[in-house]
């Protein structure tokens, strides 16, 4: 084996090890595409996941178009599905399991068994030339498709993907498929837990928790950018935050149905009962066995604390619910945590959760339109919310709209 081959294979092994540590499927797909593009010098790319006999468009990147946006903004992509047929390059690869290495998408070989659709190029004013499309294969099954677009030289010239590069990326794609399978299982388990809560609380839907988690990741990224947090720390926190945020209200499983399903506002005693859900949620993660467990504990316990100290449950023993540390202990009351006593990522989930609640219809209120919801968030800066987190929220607003469009309510 040549020295260059050994170096390339070591790079692939290192990349495979790195993605294997990622827990959340959305974060994972973005990382897979980023690493695959770096490996090949691709300007753009996308990932499709096989769902219900079709390919669902899940993730896309385009360096050329990204550079045209303001700093901090991300490209907006609408999720759609492709049939597993020859009407598209991805559909053909997903059905046949064969890789395609196309030097020029506008000059397909005569009699090709697949078609290139130039519609996206027309809409985005982009030119697709070289295309490398590979199946994501788990054992004998295809779980998705990885598509890389426009290999570039160091001076920016678009060139075909080499045959050697195709072989290397196929090795990486096989490792990526295994990571995808594991992350999909994790997401499935989390969503099953959410469905258990949904049986008690109709408001706690898959759309709601995915939006809150997506908002939280975007707000955290905007906050971290302003603080110059190291990139590896940001990526690690985004991964565990995405899952922990989805579990923020898991404690509602312990609240009576009569309260959660009440068709109207709660009275004082009912509200006191529902204030138990942060503690009950945190109790589920007392035996912390992973970083996800640790953050899920923190988020569940603290997402209803307020910056001004008027939130709940405050300084308590999660196991018993009793006040601790002298914070109102003599009166049997727990002082609310305030300011930076509240963990940062819980402060971020708090504003994300409230924003989604404002924008969602409830049995006792209509959904707020965006301007009204944003005014509430702005007015609560320094009261319910950390002012710096609110600044990050507004800095990320363009990306929050993208998250909202990707996870609409289905009911």
Q: Are residues 379 and 241 in the same domain?
A: yes
Matching residue, tokens 């992509």: 77
Q: First CA to last CA across the chain, in angstroms? A: 57
Check residue 7 and give its pLDDT: 78
The mean per-residue pLDDT over the stretch 372-394 comes to: 98
Residue 5: pLDDT band (50, 70, 90) is low
Check residue 77 and give its pLDDT: 80
Q: Are residues 167 and 248 in the same domain?
A: no
Query: Rounded CA gap, 397 and 400, in Å?
Result: 5
Check residue 358 and give its pLDDT: 94
Matching residue, tokens 């149905």: 257
Residue 140: pLDDT band (50, 70, 90) is confident
> What is the number of other CB atoms lying within 10 angstroms of the CB of residue 22?
25
Check residue 410 and give its pLDDT: 61
Cis peptide before 313 (omega within 30 of 0): yes
Check residue 327 and give its pLDDT: 57
Contact (Cβ atoms closer than 8 angstroms) between residue 329 and residue 320: no
In a 3-state reduction of DSSP, which class is residue 323? strand
246/167: higher pLDDT: 246
Q: Are residues 155 and 237 in the same domain?
A: no
> What is the number of other CB atoms lying within 10 angstroms of the CB of residue 251?
21
pLDDT tens digits, one per residue of 18-68: 898 999 999 999 999 999 999 999 999 999 999 999 999 999 999 999 999
Note the Cα 364 to chain centre separation in Å. Answer: 30
Which DSSP string do the residues of 258-322 spell out, in sequence order? Answer: HHHT-SS---HHHHHHHTTHHHHHHHTTSS--SHHHHHHHHHHHHTT--TTS--SS-SB-TTT--
Residues near 312 by Cβ (< 8 Å), separated by ≥ 6? 275, 278, 304, 305, 334, 336
pLDDT greater than 70 at residue 189: yes
In a 3-state reduction of DSSP, which class is residue 157? coil
Contact (Cβ atoms closer than 8 angstroms) between residue 173 and residue 146: yes
Query: Rounded CA gap, 120 and 105, in Å?
Result: 13
Check residue 240 and give its pLDDT: 97
Q: For residue 226, what are its two tokens?
A: 């302003």
Q: Are residues 315 and 382 in the same domain?
A: yes
DSSP symbol at 198: H
Ranked by mean pLDDT, which of 12-21, 197-206, 369-378 comes out on top? Answer: 369-378
Q: For residue 363, what are its two tokens?
A: 């049995």
Q: Are residues 141 and 13 in the same domain?
A: yes
pLDDT greater than 80 at residue 73: yes
Query: Rounded CA gap, 148 and 22, in Å?
Result: 21
Q: Are residues 243 and 150 in the same domain?
A: no
Query: Rounded CA gap, 141 and 154, in Å?
Result: 36
Residue 192 lies in a domain: no
Residue 2: pLDDT band (50, 70, 90) is low
Q: For residue 296, what are its two tokens?
A: 């899920």
pLDDT tens digits, one per residue of 80-119: 889 999 999 999 999 999 999 999 999 999 989 999 999 9
Give the residue from 122, 154, 184 where a domain finishes.
184
pLDDT tens digits, one per residue of 251-279: 999 998 888 888 778 889 999 999 999 99
The mean per-residue pLDDT over the stretch 286-314 comes to: 95
Contact (Cβ atoms closer than 8 angstroms) between residue 134 and residue 145: yes
Domain that holds residue 97: 3-184
pLDDT greater than 80 at residue 325: no
Query: Rounded CA gap, 366 and 373, in Å?
Result: 12
Check residue 363 and give its pLDDT: 64
Q: Are residues 227 and 349 in the same domain?
A: yes
Q: Above pLDDT 70, what percent of the chain?
A: 95
Check residue 224 and give its pLDDT: 97
Contact (Cβ atoms closer than 8 angstroms) between residue 406 and residue 79: yes
pLDDT tens digits, one per residue of 153-164: 999 999 999 988
Residue 196 lies in a domain: no
Residue 328: pLDDT band (50, 70, 90) is low
Q: Are residues 76 and 208 in the same domain?
A: no
* CA nearest neighbour of 24 among 195, 182, 193: 182
pLDDT greater than 60 at residue 148: yes
Q: Above pLDDT 90, what percent of the chain?
A: 71
Q: Are residues 218 and 162 in the same domain?
A: no
> How many domains would you assign to the chain?
2
Contact (Cβ atoms closer than 8 angstroms) between residue 145 and residue 136: yes
The CATH number given to whatever domain includes residue 108 is: 3.30.450.40
Q: Are residues 162 and 209 in the same domain?
A: no
Contact (Cβ atoms closer than 8 angstroms) between residue 160 and residue 103: yes
pTM exceeds 0.85, yes or no: yes
> What is the number of other CB atoms lying within 10 angstroms of the CB of residue 24?
25
Residue 390 lies in a domain: yes
The mean per-residue pLDDT over the stretch 313-330 comes to: 81
The mean per-residue pLDDT over the stretch 179-187 comes to: 94
Residue 251 lies in a domain: yes
Check residue 332 and give its pLDDT: 55
Query: Rounded CA gap, 400 and 219, in Å?
Result: 8
Could you tell me the sign of the dihedral formed by the alpha carbons of 135, 240, 251, 263, in that order? Answer: negative
Q: Are residues 162 and 244 in the same domain?
A: no
pLDDT tens digits, one per residue of 332-365: 578 999 999 999 999 999 999 999 999 987 766 7
Mean pLDDT of the chain: 91
Note the Cα 363 to chain centre separation in Å. Answer: 28
Q: Are residues 156 and 47 in the same domain?
A: yes
Give the residue from 184, 215, 250 where a domain finishes.
184
């Amino acid at each position: 084996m040549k020295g260059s081959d050994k170096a390339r294979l070591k790079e692939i092994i290192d990349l495979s090890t790195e993605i294997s540590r990622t827990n959340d499927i959305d974060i994972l797909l973005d990382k897979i595409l980023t690493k695959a593009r770096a490996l090949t010098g691709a300007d753009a790319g996308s990932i499709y996941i096989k769902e219900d006999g079709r390919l669902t468009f899940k993730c896309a990147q385009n360096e050329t178009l990204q550079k045209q946006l303001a700093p901090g903004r991300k490209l907006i992509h609408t999720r759609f599905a492709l049939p597993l047929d020859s009407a598209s390059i991805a559909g053909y690869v997903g059905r046949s399991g064969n890789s395609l290495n196309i030097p020029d998408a506008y000059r397909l070989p005569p009699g090709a068994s697949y078609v290139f659709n130039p519609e996206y190029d027309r809409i985005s004013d982009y030119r697709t030339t070289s295309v490398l499309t590979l199946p994501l294969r788990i054992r004998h099954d295809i779980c998705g498709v990885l598509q890389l677009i426009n290999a570039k030289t160091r001076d920016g010239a678009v060139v075909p993907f080499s045959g050697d590069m195709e072989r290397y990326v196929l090795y990486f794609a096989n490792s990526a498929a295994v990571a995808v399978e594991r992350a999909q299982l994790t997401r499935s388990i989390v969503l099953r837990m959410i469905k258990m809560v949904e049986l008690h609380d109709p408001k706690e839907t898959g759309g709601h928790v995915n939006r809150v988690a997506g908002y939280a990741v975007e707000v955290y990224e905007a906050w971290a950018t302003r603080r110059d947090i190291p990139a590896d720390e940001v990526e690690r926190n985004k991964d565990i935050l995405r899952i922990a945020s989805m579990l923020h209200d898991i404690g509602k499983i312990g609240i009576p149905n009569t309260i959660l399903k009440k068709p109207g506002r709660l009275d004082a005693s009912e509200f006191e009962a529902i204030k138990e859900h942060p503690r009950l949620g945190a109790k589920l993660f007392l035996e912390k066995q992973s970083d996800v467990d640790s953050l899920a504990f923190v988020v569940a316990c603290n997402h209803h604390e307020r910056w001004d100290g008027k939130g709940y449950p405050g300084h308590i023993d999660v196991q018993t619910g009793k006040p601790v540390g002298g914070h109102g202990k003599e009166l049997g009351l727990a002082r609310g945590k305030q300011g930076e006593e509240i963990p940062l990522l819980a402060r971020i989930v708090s504003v994300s959760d409230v924003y989604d609640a404002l924008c969602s219809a409830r049995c006792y209120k209509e959904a707020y339109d965006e301007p009204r919801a944003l005014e509430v968030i702005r007015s609560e800066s320094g009261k319910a919310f950390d002012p710096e987190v609110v600044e990050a929220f507004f800095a990320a607003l363009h990306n929050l709209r993208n998250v909202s469009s990707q996870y609409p309510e289905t009911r």
